[in-house]
């Protein structure tokens, strides 16, 4: 394992992965745009939104590792995440929003009844922990069964919260602004608003993820079979 960042960077250079975010965005700009459009298409049935988001994060991880992210691989990932993507999507994407809404609701009620301070504080804690965990849950769920990935992502989020917080705020913050400015933000979603934050987030946390997955091999189908 690469417990020191300089060891990770040295291994990274040997493996040929991009060392700068600008390199990732430049080398994979066409893939990013193409995957973003495929994500929009895959989300149209609505029930496939969890699978589409998981597949987008899967492709973002491939771009960051300088691996191929083709439409064929995207649709294969969507198919594999039809079931296993639901809990990942709920914990990483839905739970932070629900907890934030609950905290806002209880905060308003606290002004009249102080007893609601405790559920407000608890909701804020759940929001923060789930926000931090979301940064690590997607990459870890691709490499290990969910029963291992969920607790591992929580531990990693608590141990290394810095970049996870930046990643969570970036993904959820941009999504909140984009939804708030609909329909004016429609072009944002079509031109990269779904895939771009995923790529940036995966780049930010990749060093921390390597602490648990130093020699990660792509074996996505096997992980799916273990979960199902």
Query: How does pLDDT run across 9-52, given as a tens digit for each residue?
Result: 444 444 556 768 888 888 788 889 999 999 999 999 999 999 99
Q: Which tens digits make up the pLDDT trace of 167-225? A: 989 999 999 999 999 888 899 988 889 999 999 999 999 988 988 876 554 444 444 44
Give CA–CA dist 68/49, Å, rounded. Answer: 23
The predicted structure's pLDDT at residue 56? 96
Beta-carbon count within 10 A of 93 CB: 20
Structure letter (DSSP) for residue 160? S
- Provide the strand spans (E) within 41-120: none
Structural tokens at position 214: 């130093």
- Asked if 12 contacts 65 with a C-beta cutoff of 8 angstroms, the reply is no
pTM score above 0.75: yes
Beta-carbon count within 10 A of 170 CB: 17
The predicted structure's pLDDT at residue 221? 42
Residues 6+ positions from 155 with CB-CB distance below 8 Å? none
Structural tokens at position 210: 């390597």
Average pLDDT, the chain: 85
């Amino acid at each position: 394992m690469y417990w020191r960042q300089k060891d990770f960077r040295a291994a990274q250079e040997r493996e040929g992965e991009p060392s700068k975010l600008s390199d990732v965005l430049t080398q994979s700009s066409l893939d990013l745009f193409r995957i973003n459009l495929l994500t929009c298409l895959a989300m149209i049935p609505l029930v496939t939104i969890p699978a589409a988001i998981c597949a987008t994060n899967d492709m973002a991880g491939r771009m960051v590792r300088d691996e191929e992210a083709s439409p064929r691989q995207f649709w294969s990932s969507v198919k594999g995440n039809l079931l296993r993507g639901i809990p990942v999507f709920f914990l990483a994407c839905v739970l932070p929003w629900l907890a934030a809404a609950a905290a806002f609701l209880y905060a308003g009620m606290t002004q009249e009844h102080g007893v609601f301070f405790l559920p407000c504080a608890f909701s804020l804690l759940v929001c923060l922990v789930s926000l931090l965990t979301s940064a690590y849950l997607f990459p870890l769920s691709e490499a290990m069964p969910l029963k291992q990935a969920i607790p591992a992502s929580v531990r990693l989020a608590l141990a290394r919260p810095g970049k996870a917080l930046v990643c969570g705020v970036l993904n959820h913050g941009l999504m909140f602004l984009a939804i708030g400015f609909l329909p004016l933000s429609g072009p944002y979603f079509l031109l990269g608003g779904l895939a771009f934050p995923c790529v940036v987030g995966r780049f930010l946390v990749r060093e921390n993820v390597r602490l648990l997955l130093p020699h990660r091999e792509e074996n996505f189908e096997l992980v799916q079979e273990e979960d199902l």
